[in-house]
Amino acid sequence: MDNNGFCASERGFTLIEMMVVIVLMAVMLGLALPSFNGLVERYRVEAMAKALMASIADARAEAARRGVKVTMQQRTGCQGRDWSCGWETLVGSGDAAEFLKRQDPDGRVSIEKGAAGAMSFDPMGYSTGPGRFRLRPAGSADSSNIVAVCLALGGRMRLVKGDGPCS
């Protein structure tokens, strides 16, 4: 024991050892962060694709349950084939339209429908035409995070990863 009451052989880290470990961890984090961002973007796009598929399934089910046509359309603010502003599911048209569901947009995901305009489902659950939605991270040119939601005339849906065809 020394004069202060401490054992001379106490173990611990020196300041230099701790600084080296912190620098190494910062370098490793810097290398891992870009790949982690791609993973987060991919999950964000897939989450919006699943929300879109759930809305389509709900619209088909509601059309069959009520025995009337149910329509999904892009929310105001979007034009043409752009559905990035979110979408609405409604029964009826004009002032008598009843809103069933509204999907809020995720500004970090870009959604583009294959053909401009709304999509409808008749009381048998058939769509007015086949549909294809292309979802990708907003502002990203990386094609690895693109997802497509494919809808057949009979209402069958598929999630296609990548920018491949729906067929």
Q: Would you mind telling me the total number of residues written for the chain in this entry?
A: 167
User: Out of 59-63, 140-144, 154-158, 161-165, which region has the weakest mean confidence (pLDDT)?
Assistant: 140-144
User: What residues pair up with 74 in beta bridges, in sequence order?
Assistant: 87
Q: Which two tokens stand for residue 38?
A: 């791609």
- Domains delineated in the chain: 15-161 (3.55.40.10)
151 Cα distance to chain centroid: 17
Predicted local confidence at residue 163, as pLDDT: 77
Please check the confidence at residue 9 and state whether its pLDDT lies above 70: no
Each residue's pLDDT tens digit, 106-125 = 889 999 988 888 889 999 88
How much is the pLDDT for 79? 84
Q: What percentage of the chain exceeds 90 in pLDDT?
A: 35
- State pTM to two decimals: 0.77
What is the per-residue pLDDT for 78? Answer: 84
User: Please, are residues 30 and 37 in contact by the beta-carbon 8 Å criterion?
Assistant: no
Sign of torsion over alpha carbons 118, 123, 129, 131 = positive
